[in-house]
Structure 1
Amino acid sequence: MNHFDLWGEPAHVDPLPILARMRSEAPIVRLFDPHQGAPEWVVTRYADVVELLRDNRFSKDKRKLPPRSREMYFRVSELDALDKHMLFADPPEHTRLRSLVAKAFTPRRMRDMQPRIAESARWLLREADETRGSGGVNLLEVFAFSLPITVLAELIGVPLEDQPRFKAWTNILAAPPDFESLRRMAVEFQEYLAEFIQRRRAEPCDDLTSALIAAEEQGDRLSAVELMSMLFLLIAAGYETTGNLIANSVWALLKHPAELARLRAEPSLLESAIEEVLRYCPPVKNTIGAYPLADTKFQGQVIPEGEKVVASLLSANHDPEQFEEPERFDITRSPNKHVAFGLGPHFCLGAPLARLEASVAVDVLVQEYPRLAFAEDPSNLRWREAVFIHGLNRLPVIW
């Protein structure tokens, strides 16, 4: 069943050749995920991915699935209280939740954070500079993931001393070592969020949590469980997505020194450069999955009721039918209609914040650290073994 191995060592070195073969030979194919122990349909061509993301025959809501599917794909019941958010909802419930969150997650709130993001980025890099040895540092640890968790803590209103716990929880969520670890994480995260929300209800502050508590749409508000689930989503998704976007940006620029030099010479290309990173090495390789509620014919394939279907965002972003010379990294690429943040009703609400953090982080690194370079042969680096995240295991650099 698993003719195309997306889970083996070659995929951790470079998944693009496998995905190119899939686009050519089997653009919609049923594989078997050895980690989940369940079948998974993978859609790889750009046009098909766009159609899938807009197709309302596929549900995100596990409550609508037959029992067999719920048992296969959702084994950790402790996560139930943390998934009442818009990522696992269909319209009209998804529309309702997104409208409420958008009331608090405003563009102005994001823009106001830019000076603090830059300040945090410089502080983290100074700290790393003081402690790094002659062999350099792992940029993932000292900067790429430290910056988003710092920003999220401030945005949500979480005390800075709780950052290590959040980092540990989200690491487990992105790449669970086993189901028992996932269960423990879910229980600890729920207990923490429940207590934190209770404090914010009693003492509102100028933070996103208080704004979510106050958000109202036509007399409707987020329930206690929905609020906890939404904070969980913002923390987990914001941390992993942005951390990988920052690291992938550095990796791509260092791999292409001519483009790095071009960006240093023309800082105005920063926004375009981040968009090209999002296309070339997106921080999320697959969507979380959707499920047909009946046997469904999609592009000539009949997908059985309740079987998981994922869109390969990484593959779609390298489809030569959509992008000219897709394997070329070009920070001036235009047009650049990538699907790194999804598409349609489930387009990532946090995309502006991820773009902002990545832009600030890359700008500081590129302009203020002219000697930034790989600390070892980049061919030694590997992509993480994660369900949907596309990020490196480590990123050793010197400056």
Structure 2
Amino acid sequence: MTAHSDTPALLRPFDTAFFADPYPVYARLRDAGPVHRIALPDGSAVWLVVREADVRALLTDARLSVNKAHSGTGYRGFSLPPALDANLLNIDSSDHLRLRRLVSQGFTPRRVETLRERVQAAADSLAGALSQRLASESSVDLVTEFANPLPLVVIGDLFDVPQGDRRSFSAWVGSMFAPEYPGQTAESINRIHDFLVGLVAERRARPSHDLLSDLIAARDEGDRLTEDELVSLAFLILMAGSENAQHMISAGLLTLFRHPEQLAALRADPGLLPAAVEELLRYAHPNQMAIRRFPTEPVEIGGVRIPAGDTIMLCLASAHRDPARYPDPDRFDIRREDIAHLALGHGMHYCLGAPLARMEIQIGLSTLLRRLPTIALAVPDTQLSWRSSFRSHALTALPVTGPPRVG
């Protein structure tokens, strides 16, 4: 399974079994070697790094660039128009720091804390509606009715996105990652592009007190970012701010369902929740890979030489299950002492929205456990459906049941 020559045969690990449960595949790859040349579902060749020590080190290695200009012939990620592509995930060095400074004030822990009341109110409202549905229906999809709309309330408010457009935007982002028919990815990208260009134009004409208006002011008054950078920042914040928390809430609840003793401990002591969320981020975060990277010079990883311009994927999900880093890594333990992880990034590309994501996940899960104490999985575990995506191990639905007891 490991790569010993300059051009080893391509491995093809992504199949139906992988999409349902990728972790056994990662275990075999880790045992076989630190880096492997694999084929993505579209046939593109990439180098997959699977051990925690290598992944952590390479996340801060200046020889690996996220800028597509350094790509050779391998996988480059989504093909985006310029107005979406000039975002922090595609920019290195000084330009990255410049853009990061412009937007970071919107996500300081102090500013995020001012959103707590709004997040809690939204969670209570959604949980109340879910409870009412469960009073008359045998099961309800938690993804549709709670996990997806909760982050949309928050990130939508930050950008003052019209209520009627929020779910459409979320659906377009979802179909980017897991298209249901040929051409849907491009179609969704075009819709996102048109929507954001229109939103910027509308906000420029009628400024508000939201984060997008602040970014437009920085563009128009200080000339500190280009028009493409402005729209691209809006794209990244709205996409990441909705996508990650949505899937983490549903994945977190499913993980607790699968570990009833841990769920009981959390119900008995809600003070365990912050540590439980960190363990969930390690154990069940939907993002499988960090953003693709391109060596600007040949690099050697575990004895394997990777040429400049090839595509390297750093597998966060595999790193989080590496027994060389975490004792008994496949065990979910909300009392685990070592709660460090890479789910929110490491180094320059550490997630700007990490404080907000943690708040949303904590409030989402705590509200569900408090407001619906008998909530349970409504179907056998084997009947759950997952995205067919190597990037994101995310539920497409989570049917839940349970007599409501609103408190």
Aligning the two structures, in what range does the TM-score lie when normalised by the shorter sequence? over 0.9
Do 1:213 and 1:222's aligned partners in 2 also have CA atoms closer than 8 Å? no
Kindly tell me: are residues 387 and 230 of structure 1, through their superposed partners in 2, closer, same or farther at Cα, counting changes over 3 Å? farther
Alignment partners' CA distance in 1, 2:310 and 2:115? 41
Of 62, 68, 91, which residue of structure 2 is paired with 1:56?
62
Q: How does 1:10-159 map to 2 (within 5 A)?
A: 10-35=17-42, 37-66=43-72, 68-69=73-74, 72-73=75-76, 76=79, 78-132=80-134, 134-159=137-162
Match of residue 204 from structure 1: 207
Alignment partners' CA distance in 1, 2:182 and 2:356? 31
Kindly tell me: are residues 387 and 211 of structure 1, through their superposed partners in 2, closer, same or farther at Cα, counting changes over 3 Å? farther
Alignment partners' CA distance in 1, 2:78 and 2:383? 35
Deviation at 1:131, TM superposition (A): 3.4
Kindly tell me: are residues 252 and 308 of structure 1, through their superposed partners in 2, closer, same or farther at Cα, counting changes over 3 Å? same
Q: Secondary structure at the match of 1:176?
A: coil
Q: TM-score, normalised by structure 1?
A: 0.93
Match of residue 397 from structure 1: 400
Deviation at 1:106, TM superposition (A): 2.8
Alignment partners' CA distance in 1, 2:24 and 2:302? 23
Alignment partners' CA distance in 1, 2:36 and 2:84? 31
Amino acid at match of 1:207: D
Deviation at 1:25, TM superposition (A): 0.6
Alignment partners' CA distance in 2, 1:9 and 1:20? 17
Q: Which moved more, 1:297-306 or 1:325-334?
A: 297-306
Q: Deviations over 1:262-299 (max 9, x none)?
A: 11111111100100100111121111210112332223
Do 1:241 and 1:389's aligned partners in 2 also have CA atoms closer than 8 Å? no
Q: Which moved more, 1:354-363 or 1:232-241?
A: 232-241
Unaligned runs of 5+ in 2: 1-8, 403-407
Alignment partners' CA distance in 2, 1:237 and 1:341? 11
Of 347, 350, 354, which residue of structure 2 is paired with 1:347?
350
Identical positions, percent? 36
Q: How does 1:183-262 map to 2 (within 5 A)?
A: 183-215=186-218, 221-262=224-265
Aligned length: 392
Kindly tell me: are residues 283 and 351 of structure 1, through their superposed partners in 2, closer, same or farther at Cα, counting changes over 3 Å? farther
Amino acid at match of 2:229: E
Q: Which moved more, 1:188-197 or 1:43-52?
A: 188-197
Do 1:170 and 1:239's aligned partners in 2 also have CA atoms closer than 8 Å? no
Alignment partners' CA distance in 1, 2:361 and 2:195? 28
Alignment partners' CA distance in 1, 2:338 and 2:218? 37
Q: Secondary structure at the match of 1:54?
A: coil
Q: Secondary structure at the match of 2:183?
A: helix
Deviation at 1:340, TM superposition (A): 0.7
Alignment partners' CA distance in 1, 2:39 and 2:392? 18
Amino acid at match of 1:42: L
Alignment partners' CA distance in 2, 1:293 and 1:168? 36
Deviation at 1:245, TM superposition (A): 0.8
Q: Secondary structure at the match of 1:227?
A: helix
Do 1:104 and 1:212's aligned partners in 2 also have CA atoms closer than 8 Å? no
Q: Which moved more, 1:279-288 or 1:172-181?
A: 172-181
Match of residue 367 from structure 1: 370
Amino acid at match of 1:101: V
Alignment partners' CA distance in 2, 1:125 and 1:281? 23
Kindly tell me: are residues 16 and 65 of structure 1, through their superposed partners in 2, closer, same or farther at Cα, counting changes over 3 Å? closer
Alignment partners' CA distance in 2, 1:75 and 1:14? 24
Match of residue 289 from structure 2: 286
Match of residue 332 from structure 1: 335
Alignment partners' CA distance in 2, 1:281 and 1:114? 24
Q: Deviations over 1:158-194 (max 9, x none)?
A: 0111122212211122223456322222222222212
Amino acid at match of 1:124: L
Alignment partners' CA distance in 2, 1:65 and 1:21? 28
Q: Secondary structure at the match of 2:215?
A: helix
Do 1:79 and 1:183's aligned partners in 2 also have CA atoms closer than 8 Å? no
Q: Deviations over 1:309-356 (max 9, x none)?
A: 111111111111111111111111112111111211111111111111
Aligned CA-pair RMSD: 2.0
Q: Deviations over 1:28-68 (max 9, x none)?
A: 00001122x210111111101011101111110112334x4
Q: Deviations over 1:118-174 (max 9, x none)?
A: 111121222233334533111111111111112211111101111222122111222
